[in-house]
Structure 1
Amino acid sequence: MLPNKDDVIKAVTFKTSRSGGKGGQNVNKVSSKVELILNVNDAPFFTDAERLLLQDKLVHRLDLEGNLHVVSQEDRSQLMNKERTVVKLIALLKSALHVNKVRKPTKTPKSVIRKRLADKQSVAAKKEFRKRPQAD
């Protein structure tokens, strides 16, 4: 089950720092870069199976304590960056919790095989008629 925005905000911690990039003098004064930290093991809205799935799929994004870090510094506003980190986190969790359906291998029906072979024969016959007749 995917958590909603309010549950996520209750379970995460935010860290702010000065951002690089555009903003001029504003960059030097305001802490607009936001880092969202979610501890996957302590999050109350995941089941044990979901925790294992997240730890498996996000193994390269988790630190040693099992924290997931999401950073945003695109906007000049700290509030907008906070919103972006929450949206990024929900999208990341959604993609990580998605389980693909198991494909059931099927046999090609005999009618399809027959139709393909008949099509091949008709194309071969058409090309055969295009040839010049041989002189005996």
Structure 2
Amino acid sequence: MIRINDEIALDDSEIEESFIRASGPGGQNVNKVSSAVQLRFDARRSRALPDAVAVRLMRLAGSKLTQDGVIVITAQRFRDQTRNRADALERLVALIQEALVPPTPRRATRPTLASKKRRLEGKAKRSGVKAMRGSVKLD
């Protein structure tokens, strides 16, 4: 069980890990060892997440989300597999914790009288500047 917070915990069976070869420098080691981790989590079908959290999570995942609603996180920052596994899991937990916080609703506000006056004065000033650009008429 992977604890997200006091109420939510993910079952280990919901997370699928596969090990791939990491790209980048590393010499002979990078060609032989599959140290990078590709973590897959099906956010759409997860029983542990409430629907609202799952929707926010899928929106937050962005390019990490597949068409099927699976979040794919690739970790290859470290040279060994165990640290990359921990890194991928931490990133998933952080993403879910961010999705747990509901967005604050926007409250509609009205502009103040002073701001309306400033806006109109600015428009009148600009209008005057543009009116002065016209061609000069000699009497």
Which category of TM-score, normalised to the shorter sequence, fits these structures?
A: 0.5 to 0.7
2 CA distance for matches of 1:3 and 1:45? 10
2:74 corresponds in structure 1 to 71
Correspondent of 2:36 among 29, 33, 36? 33
Residue 82 of structure 2 is aligned to residue 82 of structure 1: no
Alignment CA distance shift 1:105-1:64 (3 Å):
closer
Task: Give the corresponding residue for 2:51.
Answer: 48
TM-score (norm 2): 0.64
AA aligned opposite 2:54: R
CA-based RMSD of the aligned residues comes to 2.8
- Residue 102 of structure 1 deviates from its aligned partner by 3.3
Post-superposition CA distance 1:16-66 (Å, at most 9, x none): 111122321111110001110000022221012222222334354311111
Deviations along 1:58-117, whole A, 9 cap, x unmatched? 35431111100111101110111000000011111222332233365789xxxxxxxxxx
Match in the other structure for 1:134: none
Identity %: 29
Distance 1:9 1:22, change over 3 A: farther
Q: Unaligned regions of 5+ residues in structure 2, if any?
A: 111-139
For residues 101 and 6 of structure 1, the distance between their equivalents in structure 2, rounded to whole angstroms, comes to: 25
- Larger-Rg structure: 1
Number of positions where the alignment pairs a residue of Structure 1 with one of Structure 2: 110
Which residue is equivalent to 1:17? 20
Distance 2:71 2:9 in 1: 18
What is the TM-score of this pair, normalised by structure 1? 0.65
CA distance in 2, matches of 1:30, 1:6: 32
Indicate if the aligned counterparts of 1:9 and 1:86 stay in contact, CA closer than 8 A: no
Could you say which structure has the greater relative contact order, defined with CA pairs below 8 angstroms and 6 or more residues apart? 1
Contact 2:4 2:97 in 1 (8 A): no
Question: Partner residue of 2:102?
Answer: 99
